[in-house]
């Protein structure tokens, strides 16, 4: 199975490039599934129903989120009725939406996507390791789920790496989000799980993690705020991870980064 995971969409420029390029990438890489983190897609803060529809129409199968999932008021009602939009699984019981979803391709093969948020330097949610472990125990990789993807949304690289090893042999891909900078450690772990600490972002890299430079610089240099953060609107770059697995086991045979766009050195897997 071939799956593409794309990192956090930041604002209009990242969203527009994703919508434009995903149909072409699906065809050129012969993809079975596309998953994307959409929590910064609505002007940098949250996601809307309209944006969800645009991404699904472009060929996205599942949208994951993170700490900005509730920034748009409409999300609480929309997520309750849209199973393909998920939030971190370790939110307390009773939180709207769900933390995982199983989707199927045209051949009936199932992909399970689990979204979880780290605890280090993040909002205090339930234990991410216990939440992921409980979900993984419900599914058999290579059998009931041909591909299992874990998106760990967090600040600390150590916590993301620990999640990768915790899931090794039980997931097809563990990938980090939230930092908005693609890491150079794409690898297959000892047990066969593909791993990358952070997928990066889909947005304008002539920025401060996707935001227009003026306000972050003001806050760093003068320690005062003069306004809201707003997404940078220059030419965007798509960043993500491409993984190919063995259908019999669900374990990774190949992992490569994907970078496509204006500013970073481009890398496109070849199939």
- How many alpha carbons lie under 13 Å from residue 26 in its C-beta half-sphere? 16
26 or 124, greater pLDDT? 26
Residue 106 has a pLDDT of: 85
pLDDT > 90 fraction of the chain, expressed in percent and rounded: 96
Q: Which of 68, 139, 153, 178 is catalytic?
A: 68
CA distances (Å), origin 195, targets 4, 71, 84, 170: 13, 29, 23, 12
Domain 2-261 fold: Purple Acid Phosphatase; chain A, domain 2 (3.60.21)
68 is catalytic: yes
Domain limits, the chain: 2-261
* Pure H helices in the chain: 11-28, 49-58, 75-81, 128-136, 157-167, 214-222
* Residue range 172-198, pLDDT digits in tens: 999 999 999 999 999 999 999 999 999
Strand order in the sheet with 237-245: 62-64, 33-37, 2-6, 237-245, 252-261
**CA–CA separation, 11 and 41 (whole Å):** 5
Count of CB atoms situated within 10 Å of the CB of 98: 16
Longest dimension (CA), the chain: 57
Q: Mean pLDDT across the stretch 112-121?
A: 97
* Residue range 198-224, pLDDT digits in tens: 999 999 999 999 999 999 999 999 999
Prediction pTM value: 0.96
Q: SS3 of 39, please?
A: coil
> Which residues on neighbouring strands pair with residue 142, listed in sequence order?
none
pLDDT > 70 fraction of the chain, expressed in percent and rounded: 100
| Angle formed by the axes of helices 11-28 and 49-58, nearest 10° | 20
* Residue range 224-268, pLDDT digits in tens: 998 889 999 999 999 999 999 999 999 999 999 999 998 999 999
**CA–CA separation, 252 and 41 (whole Å):** 29
CA distances (Å), origin 11, targets 48, 106, 208, 216, 219: 12, 31, 13, 16, 21
């Amino acid at each position: 199975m071939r799956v593409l995971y794309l990192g956090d969409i930041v604002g209009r420029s990242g969203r527009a490039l994703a919508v434009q390029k995903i149909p072409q990438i699906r065809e050129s890489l012969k993809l079975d599934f596309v998953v994307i983190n959409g929590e910064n897609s609505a002007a940098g803060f949250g996601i809307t129903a309209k944006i969800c529809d645009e991404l699904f129409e472009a060929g996205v199968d599942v949208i994951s989120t993170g700490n900005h999932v509730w920034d748009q008021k409409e999300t609480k009602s929309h997520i309750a009725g849209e199973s393909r939009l998920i939030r971190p699984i370790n939110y307390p019981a009773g939180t709207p939406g769900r933390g995982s979803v199983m989707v199927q391709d045209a051949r009936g093969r199932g992909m399970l996507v689990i979204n979880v948020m780290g605890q280090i330097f993040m909002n205090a949610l339930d234990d991410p390791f216990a939440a992921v472990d409980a979900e993984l125990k419900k599914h058999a990789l290579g059998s009931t789920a041909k591909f299992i993807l874990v998106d760990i949304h967090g600040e600390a690289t150590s916590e993301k790496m620990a999640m990768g090893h915790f899931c090794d042999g039980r997931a097809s891909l563990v990938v980090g989000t939230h930092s908005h900078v693609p890491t150079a450690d794409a690898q297959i772990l000892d047990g066969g799980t593909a791993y990358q600490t952070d997928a990066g972002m889909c947005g304008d890299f002539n920025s401060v993690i996707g935001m227009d430079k003026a306000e972050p610089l003001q806050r760093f240099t003068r320690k005062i705020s003069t306004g809201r953060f707003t997404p940078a609107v220059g030419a965007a770059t798509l960043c993500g991870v491409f993984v190919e697995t063995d259908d019999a086991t669900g374990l990774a045979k190949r992992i490569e980064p994907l970078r496509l766009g204006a500013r970073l050195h481009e890398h496109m897997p070849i199939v």
